[in-house]
A and B are shown apart, each in its own frame.
Chain A
Amino acid sequence: MRISKRIPEIVGLVALVFVGACDTLNIANPNDPDRRRALGDPNSIPSVAQGAFQTWYLTSQGGFGEDQYPALTMSVMARSHVAMWNNFHIRYYTGCTTAWAAGGYPAGTCGNLTEGPAYPRAAWANSLAAAERTQIEAMWYGYYAALSSANDALVAIRVKLKDQVPGAPMVETMATLTQGLALSGIALNYDQGYIVTDSTPVDANGLVHVTLKPRGTLRDTALALLDRAIAQAAADTFTVPGGPWFGGPAVDYDNFKVARIANTMAARLLAYFPRDAAENATVDWARVASYASKGISSGTKPFNLTFHQDACTSWCDFLKVWSNDMTTMRAHTRVAHMMDAASQPDPWDVNLNHNPASPDKRLGDGTYRGPAAYAASILRAYPDTTGNGGYDYVWTHTKEFGNKTRGAWHQSAVGQVRYDSLTTCGDNPQGESTGSGDAPMVLAAENDLIWAEALIRGPADLATAAALINNTRVGPDRLGHARGGLPAATAGDADLLKKLQYEQDVELMGSNNAPFYNQRRIDNLEPLTPHEMPVPAQELGVLKLCSGTCYTWGGSSPPNSSASAPGSSAALLMQSAPQIWTQMYQARQASMRASRLLRSLQ
């Protein structure tokens, strides 16, 4: 606005401006399918179920990338792998202890303190403002996203579209399996969570009315869903095509294999659920043995649960990508020491470390069985010229890696090459070079070891247990690969359980989170290490239960929510959450009713 010169000197003008706009944002965009249309098309339901299954896989193995993924951190927390980097907040969460007699370290695990000052293990940083919070968000939101999509597919098949969905029996079984797997992921890692299934009421906006349940309830519900998937697989005949479900055409599974996968995953859930040794003693090992005896290593054609990689173009097994890169992560000295105590000191001491001569052929003399040029330029290892090179592990003459000032306990001279990636990323079993090989997520050997443990800790069958352990301790394994070459374990061995745990550490490293679960349930995690995760701060913020720094596990808090170490704040949370959630739900319902009323008056 402008005043002409006819109005001299000081003049003011008041203007009131009203701004208006259309009262709708409902603009049709036929190229952008919304949720309602996507779930209303029978032909899209298989894709919804595939998305759910693959979301579960990527959440478990880190295929979403970035820094949110916790499995690498948990592997170092378990002293399975080791890294000095802070990617994935590994360094933040993996301090050492200067005294821990119970762990067999009277002088502590920190090693040579001239290589970086010691700092203790930290609690999960459960604060909205903490960058480290992302490690406790990834599985929470990932598994619930998988569960939600599986529920969508099942609602479509069981309620809305029924027989119109192509391949409905197979899709229904896989979606049910995904429900069980996703809830298993929450039960294994969090102290509590929601139970949301296809039978949970959903409001008009797709929101559900649920309350937080203790992890034991989550486990039991997950087991019921896995049982249901097993029953469905037995009732139908189908083949799950590898391409859309497992990433590659060569990886497909018939209904019998799907049932065996579900059995193995149920055995894993029961066996890995305990947060400490006290809980481990209460596991229903007979039930574990029952599941495992019908799992992926049982019967005449054992198999690994395998996913085909695409060199991280759209997905990959991030755990293997990072953990099998010797410039990034290596085998922890705890495990290296187990394979060759004479050459691999634990805690780390560069002066006492030298080239190994392990009786375990998975390490052997530490030379590399692959291309000599790769050994020299990348691994900085010696090429195998005698046939004694390790099948899975390599010793590097560049004994220390990365920044030594970050702590001696982050050092190691032994790296895992079992899933080595020679070029870009992705799993390359036995040296495949394209980064697009088939990556085992759960080895048949893992089922064997769970089965063997059940036969040791539960109704005893030590002879069978020893035979199962020997599949990898001696080899060849269930798939015919040469393994440890160690003297066979026998039913009479007083240290049969210890031999089993050796296999858990050496054979299962890098396949999935099993090393963390196995270490926590025998009280072998470092002091102050959290044994489970709290409900993330962002979730608690949505529930209006916490607006800043929220309850947590580990550090100065108890390590977990077990009966032996109760957490009062978590108990309070359990009581408050349902009420808060109900209030939010009721408020939203009232708002919707008001909106409908207003629209009807227009």
Chain B
Amino acid sequence: MGGKLTKVTLGNTGLKPAHSGEMELGANIDFLSRFSLDYSYSRKNTTDQIILVPLSAAAGYRYQWQNAASLLGKTHELSLRVILADRPELSWQFNVAADRTRQYITSLNPAPFLTGPSYAGSTDVTQIFRIAPGETFGVMYGTRIVRSINELYDDPSKSPACPGTWCPDSLIVNEDGYVVRKSGYHTANEKFLTYVNKAGEPIVKIGDVNPDFNASFTSNVRFKSFTAYVLVDWVQGGSIYNGTRQWPFFEYRDRLYDQVSRPEVNCGGNPDPHCPYSTGKKPIAYYQGLYNGINPIDYFVESGTYVKIKELNVSYTIGRGTLEKLGWGVNSLRIGVIGRNLFTFTKYSGYDPEVAGLSGDPYSFRFDGFSYPNFRTFTGFMEINF
């Protein structure tokens, strides 16, 4: 800092490589002359995993890289290649590749901790990913909104006894599917309740970034002088935290505040401050509760499923015979166009579900934090062979 020494990360002369033992099982089947199927399964045990762990302030340093964890990774991979046509004027190949990976933390020397990422110019503010024994690598922890009255009583401090503060008769599930107090329902005081688990912890698991599986489809087609190539990516499942959407909630910048779909109410001349909310429109404070002090909350955990036409490449080749007639002295001429990131099919509400890890998170778990979406590009090309 300012050219002076400031302690941050303590060196570790005892650091050693992580050791991995991997078992892989694989099979290949070729059949009917046109099909080829591959499958493999790997199980990888990693000990002495190197991770950045927090230190006590007494050490003078914040962090140290240590051989502090053991991981178990399981991966399934499947690929299928199909030759649909293989004639002089027409050839067509179709390939599918899919995989599923899970990594589990089997042991951890330091106490469980939360980490990363940094986004929107803030370092070390939002900590959402939990590193703990028994957890999957990539689980998200945060606040969860209560959606059924029964789960409210997981909180050891809340009793369903009637009469009582948390008697079920005093609660209702509102239009958003959130449990609120009946006394505040359809008033200026309406607020959703947040979950506390049986251990009394208000910060609970709200998602997992790991997809159920990834798959990619590629196809090559050639018909006479035309060729086409298409790549389609499919990511099924897994969660994305939409931090980009959460941040502007503080400034009331979200379509949710608009509430145009909610029934209008005419409060002209009605002095009751709760009147504007009597038909189900929510007060601003209700939705600003979702900002949650920029702390993780499950409202912004969304399905990361998407199908994306990643690339489409179409070209036409003008052969030597035609070109000789033109007298250009060219053997062949190929012209075409490549489109990338053409269409995305998803229910994800952000710009692009194809997000990666951000700085401040040494584990690079995917997180939507003001990263640029993948641009849709079109590229024309001409290939000349002399």
Q: Residues on A close to B: CB < 8 A?
A: 1-3, 5, 9-19, 21-26, 34-35, 38, 47-48, 50-52, 54-55, 58, 63-64, 66-68, 86, 89, 92, 117, 125, 127-132, 134, 140-141, 144-145, 147-149, 151-152, 194, 196, 205-208, 210, 244, 247, 310, 314-315, 403, 405, 538-539, 541-544, 547-549, 581, 595
In the complex, which of the residues B54, B123, B251, B296 contacts A538, with contact meaning CB atoms closer than 8 Å?
Answer: B54
6 nearest A-B pairs in the assembled complex, by CB-CB distance: A148-B60, A51-B5, A314-B2, A51-B4, A144-B57, A129-B203
Residues of chain B with a CB closer than 8 A to A63's CB? 1
Chain A interface: which of B18-26, B153-161, B261-269, B323-331?
A: B18-26
Residues of chain A with a CB closer than 8 A to B296's CB? 129
A25 touches B125 (CB 8 A): no
The answer to whether A595 and B14 touch (CB under 8 A), given A207-B59, A542-B110, is yes
In the complex, which of the residues B112, B113, B126 contacts A131, with contact meaning CB atoms closer than 8 Å?
Answer: B126
Residues of chain B with a CB closer than 8 A to A117's CB? 285
Residue of B nearest to A119 (CB): B285
| Bound-state Cα–Cα, A461 to B108, Å | 62
The answer to whether A25 and B16 touch (CB under 8 A), given A5-B30, A145-B7, is yes
In the complex, which of the residues A9, A54, A130, A205 contacts B293, with contact meaning CB atoms closer than 8 Å?
Answer: A130
Residue of B nearest to A541 (CB): B111
A128 touches B3 (CB 8 A): no
The answer to whether A26 and B58 touch (CB under 8 A), given A11-B29, A21-B19, A547-B112, is no
A13 touches B58 (CB 8 A): no
29 sampled A-B residue pairs with Cβ under 8 A: A9-B29, A11-B29, A14-B25, A14-B26, A16-B23, A19-B22, A34-B11, A50-B5, A51-B4, A51-B5, A51-B6, A66-B123, A86-B293, A117-B285, A129-B128, A141-B57, A145-B7, A145-B8, A148-B7, A148-B61, A194-B58, A206-B60, A207-B59, A208-B59, A315-B2, A405-B252, A542-B56, A542-B110, A581-B56
Say if the beta carbon of B124 comes within 8 Å of chain A. Answer: yes
B19 touches A149 (CB 8 A): no
Q: Which of A34, A38, A63, A86 has the largest count of B CB atoms less than 10 A from its CB?
A: A86
A68 touches B29 (CB 8 A): no
Residues of chain A with a CB closer than 8 A to B13's CB? 26, 34
A542 touches B124 (CB 8 A): no
A17 touches B22 (CB 8 A): yes
In the complex, which of the residues A127, A205, A538 contacts B14, with contact meaning CB atoms closer than 8 Å?
Answer: A205
Residues of chain B with a CB closer than 8 A to A149's CB? 5-7, 60
| Bound-state Cα–Cα, A2 to B202, Å | 52
B60 touches A145 (CB 8 A): yes
B27 touches A66 (CB 8 A): no
| Bound-state Cα–Cα, A1 to B26, Å | 8
| Bound-state Cα–Cα, A581 to B56, Å | 10
A18 touches B22 (CB 8 A): yes
B58 touches A131 (CB 8 A): no
B285 touches A68 (CB 8 A): no
Say if the beta carbon of B122 comes within 8 Å of chain A. Answer: yes
| Bound-state Cα–Cα, A144 to B60, Å | 5
Residues of chain B with a CB closer than 8 A to A14's CB? 25-26
Say if the beta carbon of B284 comes within 8 Å of chain A. Answer: yes
A25 touches B15 (CB 8 A): yes
B2 touches A542 (CB 8 A): no
Residues of chain A with a CB closer than 8 A to B60's CB? 144-145, 147-149, 151-152, 196, 206
| Bound-state Cα–Cα, A35 to B113, Å | 26
Residue of B nearest to A20 (CB): B19
In the complex, which of the residues A3, A47, A140, A206 contacts B28, with contact meaning CB atoms closer than 8 Å?
Answer: A3
* Distance (whole angstroms) from the CB of B251 to the closest CB of chain A: 7
The answer to whether A538 and B293 touch (CB under 8 A), given A18-B21, A127-B203, A194-B57, is no
Q: Residues on B close to A: CB < 8 A?
A: 1-8, 10-17, 19-31, 54-62, 110-114, 122-128, 141-142, 201-203, 250-252, 284-285, 293-296
B293 touches A131 (CB 8 A): yes
B6 touches A145 (CB 8 A): yes
| Bound-state Cα–Cα, A21 to B48, Å | 13
Residue of B nearest to A147 (CB): B60
Residue of B nearest to A2 (CB): B28
* Distance (whole angstroms) from the CB of A188 to the closest CB of chain B: 16
| Bound-state Cα–Cα, A145 to B201, Å | 31
* Distance (whole angstroms) from the CB of A50 to the closest CB of chain B: 5
In the complex, which of the residues A16, A51, A128 contacts B1, with contact meaning CB atoms closer than 8 Å?
Answer: A51
| Bound-state Cα–Cα, A62 to B243, Å | 26
B57 touches A539 (CB 8 A): yes
* Distance (whole angstroms) from the CB of A240 to the closest CB of chain B: 14
In the complex, which of the residues B5, B23, B125 contacts A48, with contact meaning CB atoms closer than 8 Å?
Answer: B5
* Distance (whole angstroms) from the CB of B25 to the closest CB of chain A: 5
* Distance (whole angstroms) from the CB of B201 to the closest CB of chain A: 5
A206 touches B10 (CB 8 A): yes
A24 touches B16 (CB 8 A): yes
| Bound-state Cα–Cα, A147 to B284, Å | 46
B293 touches A92 (CB 8 A): yes
B21 touches A19 (CB 8 A): yes
Residue of B nearest to A209 (CB): B58
Besides A55-B6, A86-B293, A89-B293, 18 more A-B contacts (Cβ < 8 Å) are A12-B26, A17-B22, A17-B23, A19-B20, A19-B22, A51-B1, A128-B113, A129-B127, A129-B128, A132-B293, A134-B125, A145-B61, A148-B59, A149-B60, A205-B12, A207-B59, A542-B55, A581-B56
| Bound-state Cα–Cα, A314 to B1, Å | 7
B54 touches A541 (CB 8 A): yes
B59 touches A141 (CB 8 A): no
B11 touches A35 (CB 8 A): yes
| Bound-state Cα–Cα, A58 to B82, Å | 64
B56 touches A539 (CB 8 A): yes
B203 touches A206 (CB 8 A): no
| Bound-state Cα–Cα, A50 to B19, Å | 41
Residues of chain B with a CB closer than 8 A to A132's CB? 293, 295
Residues of chain A with a CB closer than 8 A to B5's CB? 38, 47-48, 50-52, 149
The answer to whether A210 and B125 touch (CB under 8 A), given A5-B30, A48-B5, A541-B112, is no
A67 touches B122 (CB 8 A): yes
* Distance (whole angstroms) from the CB of A309 to the closest CB of chain B: 11
* Distance (whole angstroms) from the CB of A190 to the closest CB of chain B: 10
A131 touches B57 (CB 8 A): no
The answer to whether A13 and B27 touch (CB under 8 A), given A26-B13, A129-B295, A542-B54, is yes
| Bound-state Cα–Cα, A385 to B17, Å | 72
* Distance (whole angstroms) from the CB of A369 to the closest CB of chain B: 32
A541 touches B113 (CB 8 A): yes
Residues of chain B with a CB closer than 8 A to A548's CB? 201-203
Residue of A nearest to B67 (CB): A25
* Distance (whole angstroms) from the CB of A184 to the closest CB of chain B: 16
Residues of chain B with a CB closer than 8 A to A86's CB? 250, 293
* Distance (whole angstroms) from the CB of A4 to the closest CB of chain B: 9
Residues of chain B with a CB closer than 8 A to A68's CB? 124-125
| Bound-state Cα–Cα, A117 to B122, Å | 28
| Bound-state Cα–Cα, A5 to B33, Å | 9
* Distance (whole angstroms) from the CB of A91 to the closest CB of chain B: 9
* Distance (whole angstroms) from the CB of A282 to the closest CB of chain B: 28
B127 touches A128 (CB 8 A): yes
| Bound-state Cα–Cα, A210 to B12, Å | 21
B29 touches A544 (CB 8 A): no
Residue of A nearest to B37 (CB): A10
A17 touches B24 (CB 8 A): yes
B26 touches A15 (CB 8 A): yes
Residues of chain B with a CB closer than 8 A to A210's CB? 58
A315 touches B7 (CB 8 A): no
